[in-house]
Amino acid sequence: MMYLCASEALAESRSLGFEVAGQKLLIVRKDAQVFAYRNSCPHRGVSLEWLPDQFLDSSASLIQCATHGALFLIDSGECVAGPCAGQSLDALGCKEDEQGIWVNLAQHAL
């Protein structure tokens, strides 16, 4: 597991982007849970964010690809609208403990 950040750095309904070991990833907090994904749209493989750490739509209820507007469910990564509908973001295993938020780059979330 690789340490990403302190828990306080990721507020509810917010997202953060990271580059760890040459891989781009993002984390989102929804309903007090943290979800981690590779920062790559399944449609074209482009990064998702509009601006640094801006991965969510205006309602902060979906992850949105800045390039094509595809929308993804935060809790599963499934694309529900856009050119990659039916595909999913690549979910990563993550955990949160008293030290902060951790991600496993080699392990996919179940």
28 with 34: CB under 8 angstroms? Answer: yes
Q: In angstroms, rounded to a whole number, what is the distance separating the alpha carbons of residues 67 and 48?
A: 7
Q: How far is CA 7 from CA 10, 74, 80, in A?
A: 6, 18, 28
State the distance between the two ends of the chain, measured CA to CA, in whole angstroms: 16
Q: Which residues contact 58 (CB under 8 A, 6 or more apart)?
A: none
Q: What is the pLDDT of residues 18-36, one digit of tens each?
A: 999 899 999 999 999 999 9
Q: What is the pLDDT of residues 44-78, one digit of tens each?
A: 899 999 899 999 999 999 999 999 899 999 999 99
The pTM is what? 0.93
Q: Which domains does the chain have, with CATH numbers?
A: 2-108 (2.102.10.10)
